[in-house]
Amino acid sequence: MVGAVEQASSGKSIHVTPDFQPASDESRRDRALFFATAVSIFCAKAIKSLITHCEKGSGKTNLMADIPDDVQSEAIKELVCITLLVALMEQQERETVWLKAFFEDCWKVTDQLFSAPPTHMVVDALSGLGPEDLCQIGSMNLSVKLGLGGTVEDASIYIAALLAGSESFRAELLLFGLGAPIAELDKYISAAN
């Protein structure tokens, strides 16, 4: 399927149009599986990058080993939820029933990929915030969850900047996830792992 893309006058925001609506519920679910999985891979790399960044600032070596795997997993899931919420907010001007259903499917996939915390708890706690506040509060919560100690402020800035700076990546990934053939989506995930 080839869909139309509208670029906002700022030259920054990219919005999906109704042409991107999946043809069936099954297609929507498959595309949500791709998008949530791809965002999860991005977020896992972002959390590792954050921890490595904080190692440099703390003078500690192997900080990753000090953070339990379950805590890292929860941090990744929270970042996935935040990233999905920001991606939906970036489409707000064009938000439709089918796009909301697509993101609901993405959150369901996130619950399948990571057991805790429940997606609805993360999303409900952050709903109502604007994108900037969402990025700042979400990054502070992640830094505290990971126990980054004296580097919390720097870590929060790092994650907030990552979220703010990845808008075009999120938009392009969303467009790809909604418009590319399913076989191409599978290839992307295989190559990203």
Q: How far is C-alpha 26 from the geometric centre of its chain's CA atoms?
A: 22
Kindly tell me if the per-residue pLDDT of 88 is higher than 50.
Answer: yes
> What does residue 14 show for φ and ψ, rounded to 5 degrees?
-115, 130
Contacts of 89 by beta carbon, 8 Å cutoff, 6+ apart: 130, 131, 134
Are 79 and 159 spatial neighbours (Cβ–Cβ below 8 Å)? yes
Residue from 97, 92, 81, 90 nearest 36 by CA: 81
| Res 94: pLDDT | 60
Residue 18: pLDDT band by 50, 70, 90 thresholds? Answer: confident
Contacts of 139 by beta carbon, 8 Å cutoff, 6+ apart: 155, 156, 157, 158, 159, 160, 163
Q: Provide the mean pLDDT of the chain.
A: 84
* Cα–Cα distance, 75 to 113 (Å, whole number): 13
| Res 147: pLDDT | 81
| Res 83: pLDDT | 93
The answer for 135, left when phi > 0, alpha when psi is -120 to 50, beta otherwise, is alpha
pLDDT in tens, 160-189: 888 888 888 999 999 999 999 999 999 999
Q: Where are the domains of the chain?
A: 24-192
Residue from 84, 47, 82 nearest 68 by CA: 47
Most confident of 6-10, 14-18, 48-52, 147-151: 48-52
pLDDT in tens, 30-68: 999 999 999 999 999 999 888 888 777 666 677 777 889
Residue 138: pLDDT band by 50, 70, 90 thresholds? Answer: confident
| Res 179: pLDDT | 93
* Cα–Cα distance, 190 to 5 (Å, whole number): 26
The answer for 17, left when phi > 0, alpha when psi is -120 to 50, beta otherwise, is beta
Kindly tell me if the per-residue pLDDT of 11 is higher than 60.
Answer: no
pLDDT in tens, 67-84: 899 999 999 999 999 999
How many Å is the Cα radius of gyration of the chain? 17
| Res 79: pLDDT | 94
Kindly tell me if the per-residue pLDDT of 99 is higher than 50.
Answer: yes
